[in-house]
Amino acid sequence: MMLAGKRILLGVTGSISAYKSALLVRLLVKAGAEVQVIMTESAQTFITPLTLSTLSKRPVLSQFVANGQTGEWTNHVELGLWADVLVIAPASARTLARCANGLADDLLSAVYLSARCPVFFAPAMDLDMYQHPATTANLARLSSYGNHIIKAEYGELASGLVGEGRLAEPETIVQVLAAHLAQRPELAGRHVLITAGPTQEPIDPVRYISNHSTGKMGYAIARAFAMAGAQVTLISGPTALPLPALGVRRIDVRSAQEMFTAAAAEFPTADVLILNAAVADYTPVHVADRKIKKKETEFALELTRTTDIAATLGAQKRPGQWLMGFALETDNEQANALSKLQSKHLDWIVLNSLRDSGAGFGYDTNKITVMDKAGQTHAFDLKSKDAVAQDLLDLVANALTAPSV
């Protein structure tokens, strides 16, 4: 979503890992970006311009003079002004040296010198080349100019050696670019604490009480805030979802009590607490240490209330902290949500209704209504959970920058 409509120059240089640029172009285009590929002459020995022009839906550029008969030339200055981001991936040792020393003897290095946008280098080369003092000095110099380095990864290299030098995976490069473009200054350095997923309340070593939460909404929120520059701590119940974004600190818990303990420990340093987890309201009083055998026709469990995380932490809220809770309702939706907003000292309550098609557990979409302590109601249409997360981020960011009353 963060890459939609963004104009990205992709420089591809002479490295065996140039073949990965095809997947990188595909991922960028799929994310909605406009991609213009520039190839060095040596890059074309590893992957053809036809492949990348087909995927990018634009002619690949490689020469200053695009048409030798007419004298039509490629304006490197216009390209540098056109782009929102220039990413050189793979960046060979030769290209790093060219750019670090201000040479403009090919189209890509000339575009680099003309670019006014953020520039990212993703180096790729053999182990000894990557560790050579000349390469490390060039990377340090490029970084000192304000460029961004996407570090090479550890693994088996084309030479057969094992070590650092592999091009960062295309998915990682896309994530780094998206995170940069999503930065929000008002969230920089803010500690955002988020709970997500279900809890599991054990009955015996085999069975537990839980709910249908997948964690998708909470993980989307964590991803949005992390990409916007916040320091995100995600307290997650059991879920199969991967880490939502680079830099997110995830604390895995299982039960409601474990989630409360983790949230209470992190809350004092949090600027924003977003309670999205579907936490069990009740837990078994007694947990059997062995599997309960099937004997009787009927079986009863004695349950006790779990700690209300929102109410407990809401009562401890200090000035300057912001709390957002969630309410999944099936009837009297707004009345029940407003009651939670007020009784738990929240700043916002996000209402989901199971009556809305495409909302609730398991879906990739959601439809929310947000009510705040000032009495305002914000209703949103059905949209992807990533888009919903962005709406919630906007509400929080606006509150953080609003003048104190």
Q: Which residue numbers belong to the known binding site for CTP?
A: 281, 291, 326, 340, 344
d(CA 94, CA 185): 35
Known binding residues: 281, 291, 326, 340, 344
Evaluated on CA atoms 245, 248, 250, 256, the torsion sign reads negative
Mapping DSSP to helix (H, G, I), strand (E, B) and coil, where does residue 228 land? coil
The two tokens of residue 319 are 């000035």
List CB contacts of 292: < 8 A, sequence separation 6 or more: 203, 204, 207, 299
Phi/psi at 371 (5° precision): -115, 140
The one catalytic residue in 67, 138, 147, 211 is: 211
d(CA 309, CA 340): 12
- Going from the C-alpha of 317 to that of each of 163, 186, 263, 391, the distances in angstroms are 48, 21, 13, 24
Q: Based on the residue annotation, tell me whether 75 is a catalytic residue of this protein.
A: no
With contact defined as beta carbons under 8 Å apart, do 72 and 156 qualify?
Answer: no
Question: What DSSP state is assigned to residue 291?
Answer: P
With contact defined as beta carbons under 8 Å apart, do 129 and 94 qualify?
Answer: no
Which residues are bridge partners to 384 per DSSP? 365
Active site residues: 211
